[in-house]
Amino acid sequence: MTELKNDRFLRALMRQPVDRTPIWMMRQAGRYLPEYRATRAQAGSFLDLCKNAELACEVTMQPLRRYPMDAAILFSDILTVPDALGLGLYFEEGEGPRFCKTVRSEEDLAALNDIKAADDLSYVMNAVSTIRRELNGAVPLIGFSGSPWTLATYMVEGGSSKDFRRIKAMAYDQPQLMHALLALLADAVADYLTEQVKAGAQALQIFDTWGGSLSAAGYKEFSLKYMQRIIARLPNEHEGRPVPVIVFTKGGGQWLPAIAGCGAQAVGIDWTTDIALAREQVGDRVALQGNMDPAMLYASPARIREEVAGILAGFGHGTGHVFNLGHGITPEVNPDHVTAFVDAVQELSPQYHQG
């Protein structure tokens, strides 16, 4: 077992003392980097890139060569599980992910494949172990999955949706079918994330991208409940240290006290939530991750630095903060502005961790 040279990220997630606030970015391996676009072209397609362990490793490492990030995140996609279940994932240019089949009836549900992550998603585990070996203890590796509700939205709608009409109709009118699908997905995701830990992931994030589309009661019934089910089944530690879990519900700031009780060590917040208020609401129950508006990276370096200073001041003194964007970085961002962002966190955060 290679010793971890920089465990600042893991320590902050466990609310242990750190010398400065750790930083990483959602979608840090991505289209804003010219070297990513070159590797993506080499792979032939996005899915081929995900399924090639060496190339997935290469794009995971690319942002770490440019920026002193405190964590790497596995390069993959949240829709790998529905794809393995037999829905036939493909991507249309400008349209995003699509599925050849959908789940809209009991018959559709019964037709899904029985999957074992170690076998049916072995390409993801190969990528995890390859990346972990390449990192050689430099920083921790984050594994991830979509939440059951978020995965179900794509499976029922057949792709992206603006109004979630079909899945909400199922949730409200056929709750038994909805719960059966969500339970199946929760168990598949728990297995998937457990295998990622065995392959070398040192922290996990559950991306609940569409949880914020639900009502307050709907969120607790159809999203949070199933993330709790996953977390309860995950390994608490591996290789002699804890494996912290981050739950990120985009648009979920109004439910922070409930999310803080789900069993995760950290809660990700988007840019619509004030981080000072978030800390006040969760107290010392969980760490917080976030939450600069990704669009701020289009501003000048001076304005980015000003925003970083405000967020750090909002969280205040003490540990339990992982700096991140409030959602993924967008493709048109100038990589030099990311440099300004990371530098600002590194330079301005130590004052909040002294004494």
Q: Tell which phi-psi region holds residue 116, choosing left (phi > 0), alpha (psi between -120 and 50) or beta.
A: beta
Report whether 327 belongs to an annotated binding site. yes
DSSP string, 77-136: -TTHHHIIIII-EEEETTTEEEESS---SHHHHHTSPP--HHHHTHHHHHHHHHHHHHHT
Report whether 209 belongs to an annotated binding site. yes
Give the span between the Cα atoms of 50 and 31, in whole angstroms.
14
Strand partners of residue 246: 205, 266
Rounded to whole angstroms, what are the CA distances from 260 to 149, 157, 228, 242, 267? 18, 29, 11, 18, 7
Which one of 31, 37, 66, 285 is the catalytic residue? 31
The phi and psi torsions of 160 (rounded to 5 degrees) equal -70, 155
Which one of 37, 66, 77, 98 is the catalytic residue? 77
Does 8 participate in catalysis according to the annotation? no
Report whether 31 belongs to an annotated binding site. yes
Which residue, 337, 310, 336, is CA-closest to 323? Answer: 310
Which one of 8, 11, 20, 40 is the catalytic residue? 40
Which residue, 107, 261, 132, 307, is CA-closest to 203? Answer: 132
Does 241 participate in catalysis according to the annotation? no
Does 154 participate in catalysis according to the annotation? yes
Report whether 202 belongs to an annotated binding site. no
Question: Which two structure tokens, joined as six digits, stand for 211?
Answer: 């949880």
Does 40 participate in catalysis according to the annotation? yes
Counted residue by residue, the chain has a size of: 355
Which residue, 38, 74, 72, is CA-closest to 53? Answer: 74
Which residue, 136, 131, 121, is CA-closest to 77? Answer: 121
Angle at the Cα of 50 (from 90 to 206), degrees rounded to 5? 90
Report whether 66 belongs to an annotated binding site. no
Which one of 27, 66, 233, 241 is the catalytic residue? 27
DSSP string, 212-275: GGS-HHHHIIIIIHHHHHHHHTS-SEETTEE--EEEEETT-GGGHHHHTTSS-SEEE--TTS-H
Give the residue carrying structure tokens 């980015």: 304
Does 31 participate in catalysis according to the annotation? yes
Which one of 32, 36, 67, 154 is the catalytic residue? 154
Give the span between the Cα atoms of 19 and 347, in whole angstroms.
11
Report whether 29 belongs to an annotated binding site. yes
Active site residues: 27, 31, 40, 77, 154
Residue stretches of the annotated binding site: 27-31, 77, 154, 209, 327
Residue stretches of the annotated binding site for substrate: 27-31, 77, 154, 209, 327
